[in-house]
Amino acid sequence: MATTAAPSRTVERPNIPSAAVRFPAIKDYEQVDREIAGTLRPTLGWFAALGIAILCMLIGATTWTYQIHEGLGAAGYQPPVMWGVYIITFVFWVGIGHAGTLISAILYLFRAGFRTSIYRVSEAMTVFAVMTAGLFPILHLGRPWKFFFLIPYPNWRLIWPNPKSPLVWDVFAILTYLTISSTFLYIGLIPDIAILRDREKNPVRKAILATLSLGWRNSDREWRHFTRAYLFLAAFATPLVLSVHSVVSFDFAMALTPGWHATIFPPYFVAGAIFSGIGMVFTIAIPLRKAFKLEHYITLNDLDAASKLCLFTSMVVGLAYLTEFQVAWMSGNRFEQDYFWNRVFGQWAWAAWIMLICNMVLPLSLFSQKLRRNPTWLFILSLFINLGMWFERFVIVVPSLSHEFEPWQWGSYKPTWVDYGILLGSFGWFFMWFLLFIKQLPAMAMSEIKEVIPPRMKHPDPQLEHELDVGYPHPSETGEYGTA
């Protein structure tokens, strides 16, 4: 955790004023507590937003109940398109669920300084996104009440799921990912909960917070194990992030279906996931910093850095798109060629072009530093990215199925109100949790921000001054990593 102090040394941005100091506007620890704890007071706008979210969630729930009663025919399935909006939305949310752990784990290992201010939000986002995604595989089942057949639960006749099926890999991957990322979120929260606990007057809330904080005392011993555990957890979460979306991509890549059966899928999906994740982070963090008046925490530098990551992943995704076409073209495989032609110039051109423009073209604007440092543009762009990524999954799922090997069974697909209702519900469900979260627990890691800002000193001596300014010697110097 402490390592986040490093970037101020390692990251050089000569062209950006005051880049050398992470949070120029933050003077001392008390200010951090004051400002961030201050965001927890519920406001009218928050209640309104929460109300809307819950309403949408209820619409979704009702629709689902109706669908369960009526049968999946109520949704717009049109064989051979046996998967539709639900699987699309599943992959969409799983993808979003990747930014959080990426930022908190991978950027942590890479010592990317800009993570400090946004990682709590994105971690929360991750957990709730995965919670949302997790609903869909159940929701799209013909017999959802039998979903537990997919889980290797002990049963008398020892009947187990089929470990060769990508869907079972999904179950393992998603559940693991949900557990690890929520643990990650909670661990990071403990010191902050302790802060809230100590600031709290109301005995009931204090008791609750005390329990949640597990009696955290900020003692050196606790911190010592804490930082190390956090490091290993990050080291574990990093490959996990990569594996989860690879596994999700196997749902498609393992099938024969033209347009699915491709080895490029895992990297392509992971890049897409991170891309969509960053997009969602923008969608959430930019309004948040405004509403919470935290512009001096989520600084333009942070947005700028995040945009660069966004731009990079966008280009990776774009490359993947083009590679798909090239592979189909050079494969000499008639099925693949027909399919990809149909994707861009046929039946599904409109969807494919929405995807290409939103995910490939628009993000190129981030080459301009002006736009990178323009929150409004980033917000608008992020909306396009979310749209584009939803349609990426649409383009992967629907056109492939509607244009398979058997020309006699070529078809089309048109969702019904049931699909849309449940799609809306998923957003309601996600934002309900998220809104509840940001008013109960700090949306920014206080104890970690404190780490980055210089501590108060009586008479700074140059040696220590230096250390404080640069944080502390790199772990490789202290040999911490060598022993890990």
Partner 1 sequence: MSEKTGGGVKRREFLKVVGASSAALATAACAAEDTGKLIPYLVSPDQTVPGVSTYYATTCRECAAACGLIAETRDGRAIKLEGNPDHPLNHGALCARGQAGLQGLYNPDRFRTPMVKEGDAWKAIALDDAINRLSQAVAQGRGAAGNAVFLNQHESGSFPRFLDSWLAAFGMPAHLSVDAEADAAAMEANRRTYGVSWPSLDFKAAKLIVSFGADFLDGWGASVPQQLNYAEARAQLDAAPRFVYIGPRRSLTGLNADEWIACNPGSELAIANALAGKGSIQDAATASGADAAALQRIATELSAAKPALVLSGVTGDNALDVALAVAAINQASGAVGTTILSAQPITSFDGMSRTDQVLAAVERMRAKQVGVAFVRGVNPAHSLPRAAKFAEAFANVPVRVSFSSYPDETTELCTLIIPDLHSLESWGDAEPVRGTISLQQPTMDPVFAGTMGTADVLLAVAKKDAANAAKFAATDYRTWLFSTLPGGDKAIAAALPKGIMAGSLGARTTTVAAAPTAAPKAPAIAATQGDFFLVTYPSPVLGEGRGANKPWLQELPDPVTKIAWSSWVELHPETAQRLGVDRGDIVEVKTAQGTVRAPALPYLGIHKNAIAIPLGQGHRSAAQMATFQPKNHDPSNVQWGYGRYARALGVQALDLLPLGTDGAGGLVLTSTKASISKTGDHRTLPSTEGSARQHGRGIAQAINAADLNNPERPEHEEIPGDANHAFLPGMRSPVAADAQGELGSPTSANQGILKGMYDPADSRGMTKRRWAMTIDLARCTGCSACVTACYAENNIPTVGAYWQNASIWADERPGFNIERGREMNWLRLERYFEGNLDGKFGVDFETRFVPMLCQHCGNAPCEPVCPVYATYHAPDGLNVQVYNRCVGTRYCSNNCPYKVRYFNWFGYGESDRKQYAFPEPLNWQLNPDVTVRGKGVMEKCTFCVQRVREAENRAALEHRDVRPDEFTTACAQACPSRAITFGDAADPNWSVTQVARDRRAYHVFEELNTYTAVVYLKKVNHPAAGAAAPRG
Partner 2 sequence: MQGVLGAFHEIDSALHAIEELKKERFGDITVFTPTPRHEFEHAMSHAPSKVRIYTLIFGLAGVTFGYWIPVWISDYWPLVVGGKPVASWVPYTILGFEVMVLIGGLATVFAMFALSRVPRLTMTVGYDPRFSGGHFGVWVVTDPNRADSAMDILKKNGAEEVRRER
Task: Tell me how far apart the alpha carbons of residues 43 and 46 are, in angstroms, rounded to a whole number.
Answer: 5
Candidates 27-35, 136-144, 306-314, 390-398: pick the segment binding partner 2 (CB under 8 A).
27-35
Q: Please report, as a single letter, which amino acid is at residue 228.
A: R
Residue 106 interacting with partner 1 (CB under 8 A): no
How many residues sit in the footprint of partner 2 (CB under 8 A)?
78
Output the smallest distance, CB 136 to partner 1, in A: 12
If contact means CB under 5 to 8 A according to the sort of partner, which of partner 2, partner 1, none does residue 257 touch?
Answer: partner 1
DSSP 174-205: HHHHHHHHHHHHHHHHHHHHHHHHHH--SHHH
Q: Please report, as a single letter, which amino acid is at residue 81.
A: V
- Enumerate residues 260-319 that contact partner 1 by CB under 8 A: none
Q: Count how many residues are written for the chain.
A: 484
Contact between 359 and 314 under an 8 Å Cβ cutoff? The reply is yes
Contact between 75 and 84 under an 8 Å Cβ cutoff? The reply is yes
The angle at the Cα of 292, spanning 290 to 294, to the nearest 5 degrees, equals: 75
Residue 334 interacting with partner 1 (CB under 8 A): yes
If contact means CB under 5 to 8 A according to the sort of partner, which of partner 1, partner 2, none does residue 339 touch?
Answer: none
Q: Which residues pair with 78 in a beta bridge?
A: 81
Q: Please report, as a single letter, which amino acid is at residue 73.
A: G
Q: Is 416 exposed, middle or buried (0-12, 13-18, 19+ CB in 10 A)?
A: middle
If contact means CB under 5 to 8 A according to the sort of partner, which of partner 2, partner 1, none does residue 77 touch?
Answer: partner 1
Residue 216 interacting with partner 2 (CB under 8 A): yes
Q: Which of 58, 131, 254, 380 forms a contact with partner 1 (CB under 8 A)? A: 254
Pattern of binders to partner 2 over 413-452, x per CB under 8 A? ----------------------------------xx-xx-
Residue 318 interacting with partner 2 (CB under 8 A): no
Task: Tell me how far apart the alpha carbons of residues 311 and 313 are, in angstroms, rounded to a whole number.
Answer: 6
Task: Tell me how far apart the alpha carbons of residues 241 and 254 are, in angstroms, rounded to a whole number.
Answer: 20
Q: Which of 143, 217, 456, 466 forms a contact with partner 1 (CB under 8 A)? A: 143
Residue 154 interacting with partner 1 (CB under 8 A): no
Among 122, 94, 270, CA closest to 185: 122
Pattern of binders to partner 2 over 144-183, x per CB under 8 A? --------x-----xxxxxxx---xx--xx-xx--xx--x
- Enumerate residues 358-417 that contact partner 1 by CB under 8 A: 401, 404-411, 416-417
Task: Tell me how far apart the alpha carbons of residues 285 and 103 are, in angstroms, rounded to a whole number.
Answer: 13
| Residue 271 or 418 having the CB closest to partner 1 | 418
Residue 219 interacting with partner 2 (CB under 8 A): yes
Candidates 142-150, 267-275, 283-291, 429-437: pick the segment binding partner 1 (CB under 8 A).
142-150
Residue with tokens 């509840």: 436
Q: Which of 22, 98, 120, 140 forms a contact with partner 1 (CB under 8 A)? A: 140
| Residue 101 or 132 having the CB closest to partner 2 | 101
Residue 222 interacting with partner 2 (CB under 8 A): yes
End-to-end CA distance of the chain: 15
- The residues, ordered by sequence, that sit 6+ positions from 362 with a Cβ below 8 Å of its Cβ are 381, 384, 385, 388
Among 325, 378, 420, 471, CA closest to 66: 420
Q: Which residues pair with 81 in a beta bridge?
A: 78
Residue 338 interacting with partner 1 (CB under 8 A): yes
Residue 460 interacting with partner 2 (CB under 8 A): yes
Residue 29 interacting with partner 2 (CB under 8 A): yes
Output the smallest distance, CB 457 to partner 2, in A: 5
Task: Tell me how far apart the alpha carbons of residues 82 and 88 are, in angstroms, rounded to a whole number.
Answer: 12
Residues that bind partner 1 (CB under 8 A): 66, 70-74, 77-80, 82-83, 137, 140-143, 146-147, 149-150, 159-162, 164-168, 171, 251, 254-257, 331-335, 338, 401, 404-411, 416-418
